[in-house]
Amino acid sequence: MRPYTHQAMSRRSLLVRAGTGAAGVGYGLLLAACGQAATITSQTSASAPAATSATTASAASAVNITAASSGAATSAASASPSTVASAASTATAAPTTASSTAAASVTAAPTAAAVGVGNKAAVTLQYYTSLNARQQQTYQPTVIQPFLTANPTLKVETVPASSDFYVKLKTLVASGTPPDVVWEAYPEAYLGKLITDVTSYVARDKLDMSVYPKYAMDFDGMWQGKVLGLPNQSGGSWPIVPYNHDLFAKVGLPDPPDHWGDPAWSYDNFVAACQKLTQTKPDGTPQSYAINDFGLGISILYWGLRYGGQWLSDDYTTITCDSAEMITGLQQLFDLHLKYKVMPKPGELKTVFGDSNALNLVKNGNLAMAIVAGGGTFPVAQFDQAGASIAFGAHPTFPKSSGSYQDMDPNGLAVGTKHPDESWTFIRYQAETPNWAISRGNLPARQDQVAAWQAALYGDVAAKARVNVYGASLANSAQLDPIGHLSNWRDLYTQLISPQFDKVWAGQTTVTDVLHSLKPQLQSQVAKGMPA
């Protein structure tokens, strides 16, 4: 097994180019600096009425946590993790529904006995994770409090991750002070000996892993038949197509399909629609583009497979980026800018419109559709509640591999945890309720949790936003390229691939020449990143 090799950036930070997520509207990742932790402060609210939920896999009852109009939890830097405890209180949450007076349905945690902890002495679990801005208000009341109420002998300390997610974790594990539960328990963390697999727990509890999207779960949460963790949300570099309904109507186009795999929504028809949606002002400057430029996840992990090509062979030995299928696929991707002029080149949105946030530009009518990561989709709910007409559509259909660019974000066990059974209780709780997804805004990882999540976040605008199309993306996840499992794949992109892509954007070389020239360079690096 190869030792873990630190990379310049985390997988999450590289999935999309800066500005296409939700940071511009306050919902991007908020990561504490290395060596610091966020202090989550409890506040007590009035007692919340009991409710029930039929959307989770567990048989637990549900509780309502009433949304207040002002914030509850705050974040501050600290040298040590803060204890998020006080199981007897219910903290006040920020608004999570269509109005500030609505209540968010939050599912209670399965009891400890259900997963084998029993009546042990009080235990404090350390949870290594990252919270986005929304979760500074919603994380404690929505995620932590229901768990503590059901497990009064447990406490949870939240340990904020470093900006490069695994750097701080590597230090903690190496120093003999690992956390207990690790978010983003991907294969690279397992191969780097930062997490251990949970296969025995899954087998013991007879869990049905088919509830998760196959391709995404196989890529993000499994390794050679071993289960690395259970997801608490989905993500992905482009899981769904947010679009401006009014722009489509203005040029006489129907909305994108509300179902996946529609043969009429082919690449050619997608391009034709994009050409109508790209508008110029009388002086020839852009009024609107059809769609924003793509990032790492699109060009590396997914797009070649659309046409039957791959960067790396399935056995992790051979770079195949010079295949006819890869050349065709990436040429058609770059042609959206180079040939059809319906997509800006990187950085152009900021120059032309003064904003690089894709969803803001969709709302303002400067983009018809957005390439945006799963973590950046939640503002659609806010925009529609404020009167916008943004909805979700399915991806175009391609010859070989069609579907949603999904990721699963699993929670796993840190190597060296002193509380594996209690940690498994927390992992199962997050997987079996929609609470984390509600707190963060991301789509849940399971179809049976979508209804509760949709009601809590979208409320009465769910139909207008066509959230059902987004929910259906879980059953239509696309295959991912094996190159993403190399420990050095990010370095391959930033040091070798991206500089060549920049030349293609600039018209200085061709896709064909780049892919042919990259093959020997990438091949020489494959063995260095070979997974064990």
User: Pick from 406, 409, 397, 375: which is nearest to 477 by CA?
Assistant: 406
In-domain check, residue 186: yes
- Sign (positive or negative) of CA dihedral 510, 515, 517, 522: positive
- Contact (CB, 8 A) for 350 and 24: no
Q: Which domain holds residue 269?
A: 241-405+477-529
Whether residues 201 and 346 share a domain: the answer is no
> SS3 breakdown of the chain: % helix, strand, coil, rounded to 5?
40, 15, 45
* Pair 189, 107 in one domain: yes
Position 62 scores a pLDDT of 30
Q: What is the mean pLDDT of residues 384-402?
A: 95
* pLDDT at res. 97: 38
The residues near 284 (Cβ < 8 Å, ≥ 6 apart) are none
CA 212 to chain centroid? 14
pLDDT-derived band of residue 120, with 50, 70 and 90 as boundaries?
low
- DSSP, collapsed to helix, strand or coil, labels residue 126 as strand
Q: Determine the pLDDT at residue 490.
A: 85
Average pLDDT over residues 39-56: 31
Give the model's pLDDT for residue 101.
28
pLDDT, tens digit, 9 for 90 and up, residues 188-228? 899 999 999 999 999 999 999 999 999 999 999 999 999 99
Q: Residues of 277-291 as b/e, b for ≥16 C-beta within 10 angstroms?
A: bbbeeeeeebebbbb
Residue 295 lies in a domain: yes
Give how many domains the chain has, as a whole number.
2
The percentage of the chain sitting over the pLDDT mark of 70, rounded to a whole number, equals 77
What DSSP character marks residue 60? -
Calculate mean pLDDT across residues 312-319: 95
pLDDT for residue 353 is more than 90 = yes
Note whether 292 and 358 are within 8 A (CB): yes
Identify the band that residue 469 occupies on the pLDDT scale cut at 50, 70 and 90: very high
Mean pLDDT of 443-456: 97
pLDDT at 230: 98
Are 98 and 185 within one domain? yes
> Is 88:410 a contact under the CB 8 Å cutoff?
no
Residue 87, pLDDT > 80, answer no
Q: Is residue 4 part of a domain?
A: no
Q: Poorest-confidence range of 42-51, 270-279, 475-484?
A: 42-51
pLDDT at 81 over 60: no
pLDDT at 1 over 60: no
Is residue 506 located within the same domain as residue 415? no
Same domain flag for 35 and 110:
yes
376 and 417 belong to one structural domain: no
pLDDT score for 85: 32
**Residue 527 reports pLDDT greater than 50:** yes
The pTM for the full model equals: 0.81
- The closest alpha carbon to 86, from 76, 75, 77, 73, belongs to 73
Q: Specify whether 354 is located in the same domain as 245.
A: yes
Q: What is the largest CA-CA distance in the chain?
A: 74
Say whether both 132 and 104 belong to one domain.
yes
